Amino acid sequence: MLNGKEQLERLREIAAPVCLAHGLALVDARFATEQGGLVLRVLIERPELADQPERGAGVSLADCQAVSRDLSTLLDVEDPDLLPGRYRLEVGSPGLDRPLFTPQDFQRFAGREVRVRTSR
Over residues 36-45, the pLDDT tens digits come to: 788 899 999 8
Q: Check residue 65 and give left, alpha or beta (phi > 0: left; psi -120 to 50: alpha).
A: alpha
- pLDDT means over runs of 10, the chain (120 residues): 79 93 92 84 81 64 96 84 81 81 78 81
> Residue by residue, what is the 3-state secondary structure of 13-62?
HHHHHHHHHCCCEEEEEEEEEECCEEEEEEEEECHHHCCCHHHHHHCCHH
Reported as a single tens digit per residue, the pLDDT across 43-60 is 998 887 555 555 555 789
Q: CB neighbours of 35 closer than 8 A, spacing ≥ 6?
A: none
Sign of CA dihedral 15, 87, 5, 10: negative
16: Cα separation from own chain's centroid = 9
Nearest to 11 by CA among 50, 39, 46: 39
Nearest to 43 by CA among 33, 111, 35, 32: 32
Q: What is the pTM of this model?
A: 0.79
- Give the pLDDT confidence score for residue 8 in this predicted structure: 86
What interhelical angle do 61-78 and 4-21 show, nearest 10?
130
